[in-house]
Amino acid sequence: MTDSFSAFGKTARQRKVFFLIIVAIALVLSLAWPTTTTQSPFWEVWVVDEVGQPLEGMTVTLFYQNYSAESEGHSEQKRTDPGGYVVFPQRSLKASRLRRIVTTLQSAGAGVHASFGPHAHARADGNGLTGYTTDWTGAPARMSSTVVVSPSD
């Protein structure tokens, strides 16, 4: 007598269907399972004028987006202290693999102007002066930048 719940007592066709159902469930679970990635690093920014003097009260805006996991960007503003310093904590994003696949395909629709993966940069503004950091694209996990501001155009 065979156990009706045993896959071994089934016909070859029934075993194949059972196997395919298990594979499908595993695939759905792996696509739905969220993963966490860094959106922007821990970032220290010093703002100085053209002669290297720190500037207090400058607005530093951090812009960040993971083009492979989300369709909208983010920004955060801080003001420099008397040493011209601000710090932004690391930001992370939790998204499923399916969401990442769909968003990457949507980004690819921009053609040659498409961006992929995490990107972040900072801009310093104030008193008619502006300066920018380099574009961060996923590494390193910690950044230190000195922004030399100059008159805005």
Dump pLDDT digits (tens) for 89-129. 999 988 888 877 787 777 777 676 567 789 999 999 999 99
Percent of the chain with pLDDT over 90: 52
For 8, the domain range is: 1-32
Are 20 and 42 contained in the same domain? no
Check pLDDT > 60 for residue 63. Answer: yes
Residue 17 has pLDDT above 80, yes or no: yes
**Half-sphere exposure (CA, 13 Å, Cβ side) for 50?**
5
Q: Bigger pLDDT: 76 or 9?
A: 76
Distance CA 16, CA 23 (A): 11
**For residue 6, what pLDDT is reported?**
55
Residues 73 and 22 grouped into a single domain: no
State the CB neighbour count (10 A cutoff) for residue 30.
Answer: 11
Are 75 and 40 members of one domain?
Answer: yes
Residues 27 and 40 in one domain: no
For residue range 23-45, list pLDDT tens digits in order: 988 888 887 888 888 899 999 99
Q: Would the pLDDT of 152 be above 90?
A: no
Displacement of CA 4 from its chain's centroid (Å): 49
User: Taking the model in full, what pTM does it have?
Assistant: 0.75
Adjacent-strand bridge partners of 91: 40
CATH value at residue 89 = 2.60.40.1120
Across all residues in the chain, what is the average pLDDT? 88
CA proximity to 116, closest of 69, 72, 75: 69
Query: Are residue 66 and residue 83 in the same domain, yes or no?
Result: yes
Which pLDDT belongs to residue 1? 47
Give 149 or 13, the one with higher predicted confidence: 149
Do both 132 and 83 map to the same domain? yes
Are 83 and 49 members of one domain?
yes
Based on the domain organization, do 42 and 28 belong to the same domain? Answer: no
On whether both 41 and 115 belong to a single domain, the answer is yes
71 or 58, higher pLDDT:
58
Q: Is pLDDT above 80 for 2?
A: no
